[in-house]
Amino acid sequence: MIDFPPIEAVASLCNRLPPGTRVELIWILDPTSPLKPGDLGTIQFVGSIGTVFCRWDRGVEKGILWGTGEVRKIGD
């Protein structure tokens, strides 16, 4: 069963990571992803179940599912 985040957590992500925010990838569990820790990207949006959708500087557009990776806002 998929463990969805609480609505409050999704609202917090949306507030912390509005579209256009620059982020750094801290970690990701997807072994098929071309992304690596340290990659930089720009937030496109946060989905209703907490997926963080980014356009990564290496030319990849990829969402990170809740609990399968972490990004850090650059400049904080």
Domains and CATH numbers, the chain: 7-73 (2.30.30.30)
Q: How confident is the model at residue 5 (pLDDT cuts 50, 70, 90)?
A: confident
Q: What is the pTM of this model?
A: 0.89
Q: Tell me which residue has tokens 């982020």.
A: 23
What is the pLDDT of the chain when averaged over all its residues? 93
Residues 48-68: b if buried by 16+ CB within 10 A, e if exposed = eebbbbbebeeeeebbbebee
Q: Which of 1-5, 8-12, 13-17, 35-39 has the lowest mean pLDDT?
A: 1-5
pLDDT (0 to 100) of residue 10: 92
Report yes or no: 27 and 37 within 8 Å, Cβ to Cβ.
yes
